[in-house]
């Protein structure tokens, strides 16, 4: 669900959109809203507060079947004026010794080969947390302070369960490695893990979408994602050297969990890639942006996916990542062993791959129902 609320940012009233970070479908819709901007300070997307933007937001969410709550948005004008008149407290400045420790922590994570996104997230959330207690020394911050921040800031402001867990993990690791202080994080309330099933696009719809794309670069990019079950960052990071047309393989390097994997590719995909290479002649990356030698952007990938799928399925709420889910499910329905699917997807644990057994409706339809023998 998206929480729509007021935001007073940079001396202007804005419309803030808050939703769980794992909601990829919602994120794709929000990123396509005209005029949307992201606030690192408030950690949310926002638009200028005007009736036109409200109508655009409502229309986009309704068409995508996305639940939203705007109850808190419609306050009285008096309350808004009072809110505007309240002077904003200056942003706390981190002490130099704190900045030095956070820098050391960042370098430590880099040396331990943490993922770039994890490092960026941990550092950002640490700064946010420590700024909240800028009047205290690092060693004076207790588990009760962390618990108070967890409730008063993360939960009350509607941050996602993922954000909550990441913040707790970042604080725990920072204090353990940089200050040799072991906070008993077990005392903190942790969110229940989500058990949402992946959304799968019908194979015929994917076929219709891919065959109807006129732009050869767009067709190639989306075909690779589906044909190889890639994450979007894996596609963007692919380089020409990762493709071996003679062996018909594609090497995915430094994927999630710092793992490489080699994927087989079909003759049809090889032929498509040859046509693409002949037309675009990329220099370094397999799929390049407008500037030669530079990778394609994730935002552009999402846009071309939605633009082309919308032509096939009206009012859908699929995300680009649904192509990866569909790849796995379609393989399972075709009889591919789950262990092979695990290897192709690059899953560390078979338990992660097993989620696709819950979405394969064809396999469920093969189960004999007790009423099949009844003369009804």
DSSP secondary structure of 236-255: HH-BGGGEETTTTEEEEEEE
Residue of 18, 321, 325, 330 marked catalytic: 321
- The verdict on whether 248 is a catalytic residue reads no
Sequence-ordered list of residues with C-beta below 8 angstroms from that of 172, at least 6 positions apart, any chain? 183, 185
pLDDT at 365 over 70: no
Looking at residues 67-93, what average pLDDT do you find? 54
**Rounded to 5 degrees, what angle do the CA atoms 181, 187, 192 make?**
120
CB 218 within 8 A of CB 210: no
Q: What pTM does this model have?
A: 0.59
Q: Which two tokens stand for residue 12?
A: 């202007």
What's the mean pLDDT in 85-109?
76
Cα pseudo-dihedral 270, 271, 272, 274, rounded to 10: 90
Q: Is 356 a catalytic residue?
A: yes
Asked if the model's pLDDT at residue 85 lies above 50, the reply is no
Between 101-110, 151-160, 337-346, the lowest mean confidence (pLDDT) is in: 151-160
Cα 201 to Cα 190: distance, rounded to the nearest angstrom: 33
Q: What are the backbone dihedrals phi and psi of residue 95, each rounded to the nearest 5 degrees, phi first?
A: -70, 150
For residue 8, indicate whether it is catalytic.
Answer: no
pLDDT tens sequence across 223-261 = 999 999 999 989 999 999 999 999 999 999 877 767 889
- Band of pLDDT at residue 55, cut at 50, 70 and 90: confident
Q: Which one is catalytic: 157, 205, 256, 303?
A: 256
Token duo for residue 192: 């229940």
pLDDT over 90 percentage in the chain: 40
> Per-residue pLDDT for 167 more than 60?
yes
How far apart are the C-alpha atoms of 346 and 89, rounded to whole Å? 47
Answer yes or no: 132 catalytic: no
Active-site annotation holds for 280? no
Check 231, 232, 306, 330 and give the catalytic one.
Answer: 231
**Does the annotation mark 321 as catalytic?**
yes
By CB atoms closer than 10 A (0-12, 13-18, 19+), residue 96 is exposed
Q: Which of helix, strand or coil describes residue 137?
A: coil
Range 346-375 average pLDDT: 71
> Does the pLDDT at position 216 exceed 90?
yes
Residue 371, pLDDT above cutoff 70: no
Residue 153: the pLDDT is: 85
Residue 117: band (very low, low, confident or very high) from pLDDT cuts 50, 70, 90: confident
- The first and second tokens of residue 249, run together, are 């393989």
């Amino acid at each position: 669900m998206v929480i729509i609320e007021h935001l007073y940012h940079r001396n202007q009233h804005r419309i803030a959109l808050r939703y769980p970070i794992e909601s990829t479908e919602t994120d794709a819709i929000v990123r396509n809203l005209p005029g949307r901007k992201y606030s690192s300070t408030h950690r949310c997307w926002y638009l200028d507060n005007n009736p036109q933007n409200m109508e655009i937001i409502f229309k986009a969410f309704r068409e995508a079947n996305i639940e939203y709550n705007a109850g808190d948005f419609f306050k009285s004008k008096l309350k808004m004026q009072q809110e505007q008149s309240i002077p904003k407290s200056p942003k706390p400045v981190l002490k130099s010794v704190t900045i030095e420790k956070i820098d050391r922590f960042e370098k430590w994570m880099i040396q331990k080969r943490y993922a770039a996104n994890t490092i960026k997230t941990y550092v950002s959330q640490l700064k946010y947390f420590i700024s909240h207690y800028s009047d205290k020394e690092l060693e004076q911050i207790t588990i009760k302070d962390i618990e108070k921040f967890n409730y008063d800031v993360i939960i009350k402001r509607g941050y996602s369960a993922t954000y909550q867990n990441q913040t707790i993990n970042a604080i725990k690791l920072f204090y353990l490695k940089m200050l040799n202080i072991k906070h008993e994080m077990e005392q903190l309330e942790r969110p229940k893990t989500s058990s949402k099933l992946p959304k799968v696009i019908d194979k015929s719809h994917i076929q219709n979408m891919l065959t109807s794309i006129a732009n050869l670069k767009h067709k190639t990019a989306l075909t690779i994602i589906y044909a190889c079950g890639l994450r979007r960052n894996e596609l963007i990071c692919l380089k020409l050297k990762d493709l071996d047309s003679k062996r018909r393989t594609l090497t995915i390097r430094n994927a999630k969990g710092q793992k490489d994997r080699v994927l087989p590719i079909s003759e049809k995909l090889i032929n498509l890639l040859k046509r693409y290479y002949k037309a675009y002649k990329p220099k370094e990356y397999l799929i390049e942006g407008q500037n030669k030698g530079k990778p394609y952007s994730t935002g552009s990938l999402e846009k071309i996916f939605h633009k082309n799928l919308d032509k096939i399925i009206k009012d859908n709420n699929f995300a680009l990542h649904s192509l990866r889910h569909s790849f796995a499910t379609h393989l399972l329905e075709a009889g591919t062993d789950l262990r092979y699917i695990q290897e192709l997807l690059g899953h560390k644990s078979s338990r992660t791959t097993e989620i696709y057994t819950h979405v394969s409706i064809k396999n469920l339809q093969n189960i004999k129902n007790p009423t099949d023998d009844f003369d009804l």
